[in-house]
Amino acid sequence: MKMTPGLHLFLVGNDKGGASKSAYAAEARVACHLERVPCRLVTFDRSTQTLNEIFRGEGIHPLAKPNGDILIESFGLQMEEAAAAGELIIADIPPGIVDDDNPILKSIADSMLLREFTSISLLIPVSTHNDYVQGAFEALSAYQKIDLKYDRGLIRAWRPGSTSPTWDSFPTYSALTDKFPVWECPSYMQSLSDMMQGRGKYADYPALDKLPDYYIEHSIKLGYRERTKLTAAVIHLESARKAIRTHLLDPLREREVTKSKSPAPSV
């Protein structure tokens, strides 16, 4: 199946720092790779060390320093290149850029660039580790104020451990899940990120989106501990793939319409 023609955007947003926005952007890129959907990961965040390390410096596109016209020009160039290459754009947005008062978001909206996208999907990370549910609503409020038209979204719901607060502790969580489907994220991405940034044997691992193929080829040769860790990583990425494919990628795919055969004329 092919993607619907046009320029598509996955916009990652939560107004609070530490909500795993970059992790979600990374998972989306892996899902696209596994589903053979060309994409480019564009980051508005000037700190790209983590993404560069887990993807081995491949295909990360940091924008120019966010100061008005230069940012708009840089984002516009990324859009042109993505459109020419037939790539979906995954935009990783740092804390504060979706603030109601943030001039950067308003500048992007005023530039009309967002209106050039055929579709916009929201990637919304939340966690019980802090009140990231409120951060998600603040991002949605900011999007509403700039009249951002989105088509769909997917919540990445991460509960770090069995002793973490339950979702019932956050009264507004149900209002968020009424708006978007939920991916119950396995509690492994931080360990996976730490592993990919590790030295020694882990330094020989390929970029994160190639890790599942590496696992298939090499897992039988690994020691028990390393294989166990890598197995958990691949299970996590497969969970991300299934959720993102089902809720975000499948709706963007062209489906072949089978023409019904006309009955043979009666003689």
253 vs 153: CA distance, rounded Å:
16
167 vs 111: CA distance, rounded Å:
38
154 vs 53: CA distance, rounded Å:
26
pLDDT mean over 209-229: 90
Q: Per-residue pLDDT for 263 more than 60? A: no
CB 127 within 8 A of CB 176: no
Dihedrals phi, psi of 242, to nearest 5 degrees: -60, -45
Most confident stretch, 79-83, 139-143, 228-232: 79-83
What pLDDT sits at residue 193? Answer: 77
User: Tens digit of pLDDT for each residue in 60-75?
Assistant: 998 866 566 778 888 9
Nearest by Cα to 35 from 72, 88, 81 = 88
Tracing tokens 């020009």 back to the chain, one arrives at 73
What pLDDT sits at residue 128? Answer: 87
The pair of three-digit structure tokens given for residue 17, joined into one six-digit string: 């720092």
Banded pLDDT at 260 (limits 50, 70, 90): very low
Which of 4-8, 117-121, 219-223 comes out lowest in average pLDDT?
219-223
User: Which sequence spans correspond to the domains of the chain?
Assistant: 8-189+242-252
18 vs 37: CA distance, rounded Å:
28
What integer best gives the mean pLDDT of the chain? 85
185 vs 154: CA distance, rounded Å:
11
Q: Per-residue pLDDT for 93 more than 90? A: no
User: Tens digit of pLDDT for each residue in 149-182?
Assistant: 999 999 999 988 778 888 988 989 999 999 999 9
User: Tens digit of pLDDT for each residue in 28-62?
Assistant: 999 999 999 999 999 887 667 788 888 988 889 98
Banded pLDDT at 183 (limits 50, 70, 90): very high
CATH 2.40.30.260 matches 8-189+242-252: no
178 burial via Cβ count (<10 Å: 0-12, 13-18, 19+): exposed
Q: Per-residue pLDDT for 203 more than 80? A: no
What pLDDT sits at residue 78? Answer: 94
Banded pLDDT at 123 (limits 50, 70, 90): very high
Which of 76-80, 127-131, 145-149 comes out lowest in average pLDDT?
127-131
Banded pLDDT at 264 (limits 50, 70, 90): very low
